[in-house]
Homo-oligomer: A and B are copies of this chain.
């Protein structure tokens, strides 16, 4: 129950980030909803494609879709207010990222993926929606060049895989993995951590 609620919180946060970019690009209401919904449920769809879950869960689950759609509509009509909440959105997004990374890794393990595949698919679940969003609006994916984002997602997914190998319960691994992923992301945001670029790549 808690997981379902947190999952919807993550979807809403991702959808809000997608819809905000749609507003900035002056898309129409339908385009904003498309980008918002794809950002909210896109990571889960990619996960299900990789695991062979047909049709993808999020396409067949009303709460997931409705949450993403309603969030996009709220952003459309109230984007100035949502913008003032931007720190809240970034915070929710970090929570969603952690949850998606760990839940994605657990789903992959449940479907027979090995440890490497489960780690990579978990991270992909967390970052897939944002990559879809950026490709759709024709920008280089943010995760490739700003902030520490994909690394915490990968660490959260790895935590679940290692926890499973060590015999921890799924719930324990999910909580610990999410705390690690989301916490690391918060720290990176607070302390402006960045990873190095290549030495001597020029200005």
Contacts and interface: CB of A to CB of B under 8 A. Distances in A.
Contacts of A141: 136
Given A52-B52, A121-B55, A136-B144, A29 B196 contact: yes
A137 interface: yes
A120 B145 CA distance: 32
A76 interface: yes
Contact of A140 (B113, B136, B195, B197): B136
A85 to B, nearest CB: 16
B27 A145 contact: yes
Interface string A171-203: 000000000000000000000001111111100
Oligomeric state, in copies: 3
- Range, interface on chain A: 35 or more
Given A194-B28, A199-B77, A34 B117 contact: no
A11 to B, nearest CB: 15
Interface of A: 22-32, 34-35, 45, 49-52, 54-56, 59-62, 65, 75-77, 79-80, 108, 111, 113-114, 116-117, 120-121, 131, 135-141, 143-145, 148, 150-151, 194-201
29 contacts: A22-B144, A25-B144, A25-B145, A26-B197, A26-B198, A28-B194, A29-B195, A29-B196, A29-B197, A30-B150, A31-B145, A31-B195, A32-B198, A34-B143, A45-B50, A51-B54, A51-B55, A52-B55, A55-B113, A59-B113, A60-B113, A60-B114, A60-B116, A61-B116, A75-B198, A77-B198, A79-B198, A135-B135, A138-B138
